Amino acid sequence: MYERVLVLATSRGDGELCRRLLEGTGFVNEICTEVAALPAALEHPIAVLVVTEEWLETPAAACIQDYLAEQPAWSAVPVIVLGVQHAMQHLVALEDYHARGCVTLLERPIHRSTLIGTLRLALQGRRQQYRIRDLLTERAEGDRRRDQLLPRIGHELRNPLAVILISADVLETLPPDGERARYFRGAIGAQARQMTRLLDDISDVSRINRRKLALEREPIDLRQVLQDVVTQLAEHFETRRQRLDVELRGPRIPLLADPTRLHQVFASLLTNASRYSPEGGEIRVRLDTGDGSASVSIRDNGAGLCEEALEHIFEPFYQAKADGTVHGGLGIGLTLADGLVKLHAGTITAHSAGPGCGSEFVVTLPLPSRAPAAAGADRPR
């Protein structure tokens, strides 16, 4: 309905004439001939307003002016006034319309080609206004996310930094070779690595967006990459008493890929599955091949995702809420995983039957026979 043309005619005869002139043009038009019906007609978005001059000399003119005055800053509704010769001279009120819209005066009798051509030009200008609106909305959303991100980064860095500072203070009071000293040195190292991973993820997302991240491809076995990830995270799942059901049997699956980046993808997906699953929950990993591709499915029985979350889950800094709770982090892990999979000419999709029903993420990668010989994204640009 954004391209709806509203025609205001004071008589049914004028209304019928306008209808015939616009018939077969493809414009979505509505003819209004009753002043009482005007408020309801103005409630819906209007792309172009066509008005016979008689409307501007009735009390309805104030309603039209109010409508134009209430438009947002990006909007200047095109107004086409159908008047008699020299109508501009006695329609002084048109100056008020110029302040809020883009007014074009067409003299009656109206030629069909003139009206249609004017409408098309008006719609072209209106579409540009909609594009400006969308850009402003996108920028506002970016600003909002940035404003939310900065405090979140501070929080994510403050926690490990607090552990590092406290451990450093305690170390000054302990014998350097003691068990407690080794414990606190280990805590400092672990928290420093966590901070490094966080900053690396932010940097990687930025580099992917700027097409500056280069893959280091080499022949690998996808099964081995998955097995390495599972082995690395085994202790994490044991700590949370979560069962990791892994099915990786079968021959090796050769890929020409960046093993470090794929390791990063699957580690992020498994960690995410663990985070949104309860203690004692189950995470299943399945690997299948067919139709020239390999698919890795990671399914959990945790919080699940609503329809809105499924639409936005891979967007930067988006965090799905489970039971009204955000499970920490910056919301860039899945964005990074999505970007890295795309660099490998693959896809990643999210599925869920709804909140409380668990989630499934499926990564699909092309096998060598159908993989591109050279991916343009592999080289910094």
CATH 3.40.50.2300 fits 4-133, yes or no: yes
Other CB atoms within a 10 A radius of the CB of residue 340 amount to 25
Sort strands 347-351 and 359-366 into parallel, antiparallel or unpaired.
antiparallel
Taking alpha carbons only, the member of 164, 186, 257, 162 closest to residue 216 is 257
Token representation of residue 329: 């982090």
Domain ranges of the chain: 4-133, 145-209, 218-378
User: Whose CA is closest to 142, among 309, 328, 317?
Assistant: 317
Which CATH superfamily hosts domain 218-378?
Histidine kinase-like ATPase, C-terminal domain (3.30.565.10)
Give me 98's structure tokens. Answer: 């110029």
Which stretches of 91-178 are DSSP H helices?
A: 94-98, 112-171
Total number of residues shown for the chain: 381
* Cβ neighbours, 10 Å, residue 157: 14
CATH placement of domain 145-209: 1.10.287.130
pLDDT by residue, tens only, the chain of 381 residues:
468 899 998 777 878 888 888 887 778 788 888 888 888 889 888 999 998 888 887 788 888 888 888 888 888 889 988 887 655 554 555 555 655 568 888 888 888 888 889 999 999 999 999 999 998 988 887 777 777 677 777 777 888 888 899 999 998 888 888 888 999 999 899 888 888 888 888 888 888 888 888 899 999 999 999 999 999 898 888 888 899 888 887 788 899 999 999 999 999 999 989 988 888 889 999 998 888 899 999 999 888 888 888 888 888 777 666 554 445 556 788 889 999 999 999 999 999 988 888 899 999 999 986 444 444 444 443
Closest by CA position to 2, among listed 46, 36, 37, 34: 46
- DSSP letter assigned to residue 322: B
Task: Count other Cβ atoms within 10 Å, centred on residue 380.
Answer: 10
Say how far apart CA 206 and CA 313 lie, in whole Å.
18
